[in-house]
Structure formats: C-alpha cells, structure tokens
Amino acid sequence: MSMKKILSLSVLAILLATTPAMAQTAETTAAAKRYVEAVPSQKMVDEMLDQFKSNEQINLTEADIAAIRNSVNAANLDAVMIDAMAKHFTVEEINALADFYTSATGKSIMKKMPAYMNEIMPTIQKAVMDAVIAEMQKKAPASAQ
C-alpha cells in the first residue's frame, strides 16, 4: 500500500478517535444506537471506499478496496459512533436524526448523498488547497519564492 493510502487511512483513524468527552446517559446511548441502526458505519465505510476508488490520486485497486473493507471492524466503528453521538448530542437531537434517516425522505437523501459528495468534494478540496498554498506562499521568505 502506498504512503498516500496509508496517510489517508491514518487521517480517518485519527478523526474517528478524537472526540471530546461529555456526559452521557442510558437514554442518549439508546437513542444513539437507534441512529446507528438507521445509518450504519459499514455503509459509511463503503461510501468512503467508493470515493477513494474514484480518486485518481489515491489509486486503490479492487483488491485494495476489498482488503480495507475486510479489515475495518464495523462493530467497533458502531460503538465509537454510539459513544460520540451520546456525548455530543441531546436525546431529542439524536431522535430527530434517527427519525429523519428512517423516513422516506431521509432514505432517499442517503442514497443520493454519495453521488452529490463525489461531485462537490474535488472542487471544495481544490479551493481549500489553493487557499492553503497561497497562504503558505505569503508566509515564505522572499528568497524562497
């Protein structure tokens, strides 16, 4: 696996692991479990891998995708999602999300979201990277430019 692939997966792991602690109750945990049933982590992983598959810079093969999919522990991700939701959202907020994603409209949006994200993310990423590069160039010493 290339360094780009390893870096991308490392960033994903860091993002999943860095959640601030807040109080949670049995009620928020139960609501979060209901949400995770509506929006399972395996579906998110599959959508992310589909995005990686279409990214020429990452250049994952079908064998890479299958290996990554098999190595991701969905049950662990579900537990992380449940814990994080219970920490960051109220019971009412979690229930509203679960209600939405189990509705016909929510299910329709979830089916369309990956195509939408695939369409807009390259533009967003390019805009952010262009801004980062421009800002770094402003800060670089004149002799280095």
The better pLDDT of the pair 49, 76 is held by 76
Contact 95, 36 (CB under 8 A): no
pLDDT (average), residues 47-67: 82
The pTM assigned to this predicted structure is 0.64
Which pLDDT band, with edges at 50, 70 and 90, does 61 fall under? confident
- Of the ranges 20-24, 27-31, 127-131, which one carries the lowest mean pLDDT score? 20-24
The better pLDDT of the pair 74, 56 is held by 74
- The Cα–Cα gap between 58 and 4 comes to 6
Convert the pLDDT of each residue in 101-145 to its tens digit. 999 999 999 989 888 988 898 899 999 999 999 999 998 876 665
The predicted structure's pLDDT at residue 22: 44
Reported for 3-6, long-range contacts at CB under 8 A and 24+ positions apart, including other chains, are 4/57, 4/58, 4/59, 5/58, 5/59, 5/60, 5/64
DSSP 47-116: HHHHHHHT-TTT---HHHHHHHHHHS-HHHHHHHHHHHHHHHS-HHHHHHHHHHHHSHHHHHHHHHHHHH
How are the residues of the chain apportioned to helix, strand and coil, as percentages rounded to the nearest 5? 80, 0, 20
The predicted structure's pLDDT at residue 129: 93
Please give the structure tokens belonging to residue 67: 């290996």
The predicted structure's pLDDT at residue 21: 39
Is residue 5 over pLDDT 70?
A: no
Which pLDDT band, with edges at 50, 70 and 90, does 20 fall under? very low
Which pLDDT band, with edges at 50, 70 and 90, does 19 fall under? very low
